[in-house]
Amino acid sequence: MRVAVIHDALTQYGGAERVLEQIKALYPDAPVMVAIHDAARLPALYRTWDIRVSRLSRVPLAKRKHRLMLPFYPQAIESFDLSGYDLVVSSSYAFAHGVLTSPGAVHVNYCHSPARFLWDYHRYADRERFGGVTRMLLSSQLARLRQWDRLAAERPDAWVTTSRLVHDRVSKFYGKTSAIIPPSVDVGKFDLGQGDGGYYLMLMRLVGWKRPDIVVDACTRLAVPLIVAGGGRDLERLRRTAGPTVRFVGPVDDAQMRPLYRDCKAFILPSEEDFGITPLEAMASGRPVIAFGQGGVRDTVLPGVTGVFFGEQTAEALMDVLSKFAEDEFDPQRIRRHALGYDNAVFRNRLERFINGQLGKSRQARVISDIAPALPPFVTT
């Protein structure tokens, strides 16, 4: 069976790319086709893959200004020759679900989210701080791209989504049902911790829409220790507003990340994520999660067992939770057992079973189609 994997672009490393790694692990010989590829931004593992790129990747500035290329992604995605492939698995947060497959192929789409710049444009543009040129270019193309996106949503044979939030978006924007198979973490990679470090931890991309300012403000006002890991355009602004109990350690690799999780009192997530991998990494380390109670965390965090929610995206709401938080009320072993339900092996097993089910339906449909001409015609009187 010939398999191809499609991903929108490889221009950064995040949660969608970690899912892609697990899909690739299921089909190690499959080529990975992307609109734009920037090898310098990716782990060394990717250099061992058969990565095939569209012509769009050769456009000057395409890698550095990839958001300006968004109106051209549909053409790039449709340019891939998938003739001869029996199974196509697309990993889509924008347009990858729109690939053109052979009539007999099975196409399963793993949807991280319908394209937010299409279906929630104004909030997306504000939070990503689009400049005037980017806004002008994208806004002039929105109607055309939304029309293409709706038509392209008819191309996959089956949809898989990350969370109830994304499941509901796919239903609303595309009218499609989907199976929810959450992303995963390598639980065994993390050490079980007891919170000996006495600090709270925030690990994220430091950009405005994720609201890291809430955490820095709350911990500064309460004078409680906080370690902030990660980089981003808001880093310097956050440094200027932080008090003496807040420490910034910058971007961290896996080796640096594990002890930060292991020794923290709790992990704090102030953003509304489609799913959210970092809370699972904290739980794999046996550490409770304090999260804004919207988005994907509602699927993964068990209030009172693996963490707590704060109800408003404000420093005051977080301060109220932090002032009452008692880490000894949480059992690290119980938290880790919960995280094991999201281990990489569990994810691969769930996805493989789902895809095999779709392949089975396709084979059954072909058998029925093959024998149909031999059946006597249905005659009514």
Domain residues of the chain, as ranges?
3-181, 187-340
Residue 17 confidence (pLDDT) above 80: yes
pLDDT tens-digit readout, 48-77: 999 999 998 888 777 777 677 778 899 999
Does 3-181 carry CATH code 3.40.50? yes
> Distance between CA atoms of 151 and 221, rounded to whole angstroms?
50
For the segment 269-280, the average pLDDT, to the nearest whole number, is: 94
Q: What is the structure's pLDDT at 105?
A: 96
Structure tokens, 111? 């949807």
pLDDT tens-digit readout, 175-224: 999 999 999 999 999 999 989 899 999 999 898 889 999 999 999 999 99
Q: What is the structure's pLDDT at 378?
A: 46
Asked, colleague to colleague, whether 3-181 and 187-340 share their fold, the answer is: yes
Nearest CA among 3, 14, 33, 7 for reference residue 183: 14
Q: What is the structure's pLDDT at 270?
A: 97
Residue 379 confidence (pLDDT) above 90: no
CB within 8 Å of 175: residues ≥ 6 apart: 153
pLDDT tens-digit readout, 323-372: 999 999 999 999 999 999 999 999 999 999 999 999 998 776 665 555 55
Backbone angles phi, psi at 261, to 5 degrees: -65, -50
Reported in sequence order, the residue ranges of 80-209 that DSSP labels E, i.e. its strands, are: 87-92, 106-111, 158-161, 179-180, 200-203
Residue 279 confidence (pLDDT) above 80: yes
Q: What is the structure's pLDDT at 69?
A: 77
Residue 41 confidence (pLDDT) above 70: yes
Q: Pick the residue with more confidence: 133 or 323?
A: 323
Question: If residue 74 lies in a helix (H) or strand (E), which one and from where to where?
Answer: helix 73-78
* Model pTM score: 0.86
Structure tokens, 199? 């600090």
> Distance between CA atoms of 130 and 115, rounded to whole angstroms?
16
pLDDT tens-digit readout, 225-264: 999 999 988 999 999 999 999 999 999 988 999 999 999 9
| CATH architecture, domain 187-340 | 3-Layer(aba) Sandwich (3.40)
Q: Which residues pair with 266 in a beta bridge?
A: 200
User: Lowest mean pLDDT: which of 130-134, 164-168, 297-301?
Assistant: 130-134
